[in-house]
């Protein structure tokens, strides 16, 4: 039994296809299949049921995969110890980011990071919070960026920044004449929300629930993007709330409709999250320092006070 064989097993378990797993493992399909067959022969069990499409794990295969994850992760730790001892910051690093953060955050830090750490091969994917947490626990991601707190004992959270909520209020809305608004001014019935599954949506709902006496969770319109919600607001369908960094990219004509909150400014907590095993911690720390410096600078430059984090509801 070898670490390489276990890595191939994990690849097939993830992609449920020998050819795809071989491509991702940078070997030929016959090589990968032969090594897995050798492992099955050695153990005298079938790890995969090849008669099913896509390929499925057998019952004993599921147990083997769970143990293989631990063994492979521990093997990575040895190289990780050596890299940290040498101060080496490089190699593949798999990062996930939630959809409400990816479009605005990535352009702020990516170029700086790859220039500063050219030996890091950064692989980035966009996924929902729940999927990111699953991939972190299963070892398919090294870290992720999400709204926190998440309250998962296997996941560590390092706060990057607090991002204020900003209201987008069209000309015909009841709050348009106010220069600044209060949380108590909000009514969930006329707030356009992201579709279910977005943590920013949950943050907005929790913010409105903080109003004394609020008990109405009926809302008429939901959308998958902030741009769509702003367009709907412009059509008189209500108002919406945006994360602060998103407001830096909208047009000057749209900025006329922005309304900031009176202090304390409600905000979401955005963190770099990673597994408690702390593999590739030196890269994680480098990434955190880069992002925190750039984003905090951008928010501070706009002179926005961040005082009151709002729970993401996750």
Q: What is the pLDDT of residues 190-202, one digit of tens each?
A: 777 765 445 656 6
The whole domain housing 21 covers 3-84
Q: Which residue has the tokens 């690849």?
A: 11
Asked whether the beta carbons of 134 and 158 are under 8 A apart, the reply is: no
b/e per residue 104-123 (b: at least 16 CB within 10 A): bbbebbeeebeeebeebeee
Q: Within this chain, do residues 78 and 97 fall inside the same structural domain, yes or no?
A: no
The reply to whether 153 and 209 lie within a common domain is no
Q: How many domains does the chain have?
A: 3
Dihedral sign computed on CA atoms, order 46, 52, 54, 57: negative
Note whether 139 and 254 are same-domain residues.
Answer: no
pLDDT tens per residue across span 254-288: 999 999 988 778 888 899 999 998 889 999 999 99
* 275 and 247 within one domain: no
Report pLDDT for 307: 45
Alpha-carbon span 77 to 71, nearest angstrom: 10
CB 58: neighbour CB atoms within 10 A?
Answer: 14
Instruction: Report, as an integer, the average pLDDT of 165-171.
Output: 90
Residues 183 and 256 in one domain: yes
Query: Which residue from 297, 294, 304 is spatially nearest to 267, judged by alpha carbons?
Result: 304
Element (H, E) at 161: strand 155-168
Is 217 found in the same domain as 262? yes
DSSP H helices in the chain: 3-15, 18-25, 29-43, 59-86, 102-116, 129-138, 199-209, 226-234, 244-247, 252-255, 281-301
The single-letter DSSP state of residue 182 is -
Place of tokens 């699953």: 134
Least confident of 76-85, 86-95, 244-253, 303-312: 303-312
Residue 216 banded pLDDT, cuts 50, 70, 90: very low
Do 279 and 133 share a domain, yes or no? yes
Average pLDDT over residues 123-145: 92
């Amino acid at each position: 039994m070898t670490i390489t064989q276990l890595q191939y097993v994990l690849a097939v378990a993830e992609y449920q296809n020998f050819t795809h797993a071989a491509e991702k493992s940078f070997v030929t399909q016959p090589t990968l299949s032969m090594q897995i067959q050798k492992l099955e022969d050695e153990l005298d069990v079938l790890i995969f049921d090849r008669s099913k499409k896509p390929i499925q794990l057998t019952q004993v295969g599921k147990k083997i995969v769970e143990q293989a994850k631990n063994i492979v992760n521990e093997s990575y730790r040895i190289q990780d110890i050596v890299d940290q001892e040498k101060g080496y910051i490089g190699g593949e690093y798999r990062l996930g980011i939630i959809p409400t953060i990816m479009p605005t955050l990535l352009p702020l830090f990516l170029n700086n990071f790859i220039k500063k750490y050219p030996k890091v091969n950064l692989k980035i994917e966009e996924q929902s919070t729940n999927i990111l947490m699953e991939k972190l626990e299963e070892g398919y991601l090294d870290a992720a960026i999400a709204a926190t707190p998440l309250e998962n004992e296997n996941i560590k959270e390092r706060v990057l920044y607090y991002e204020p909520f900003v209201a987008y209020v069209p000309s015909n809305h009841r709050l348009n004449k106010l220069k600044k608004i209060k949380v108590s001014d909000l009514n969930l019935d006329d707030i356009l929300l992201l579709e279910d599954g977005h943590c920013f949506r949950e943050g907005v709902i929790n913010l409105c629930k903080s109003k004394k006496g609020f008990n109405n969770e009926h809302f008429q319109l939901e959308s998958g993007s902030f741009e769509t919600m702003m367009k709907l607001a412009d059509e008189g369908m209500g108002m919406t709330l945006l994360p602060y960094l998103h407001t830096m990219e909208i047009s000057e004509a749209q900025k006329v409709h922005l309304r900031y909150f009176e202090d304390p400014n409600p905000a979401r907590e955005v963190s770099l999250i990673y597994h408690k095993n702390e593999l590739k911690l030196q890269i994680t720390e480098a990434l955190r320092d880069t992002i925190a410096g750039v984003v905090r600078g951008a928010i501070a430059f706009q002179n926005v006070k961040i005082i009151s984090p709002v729970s993401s509801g996750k």
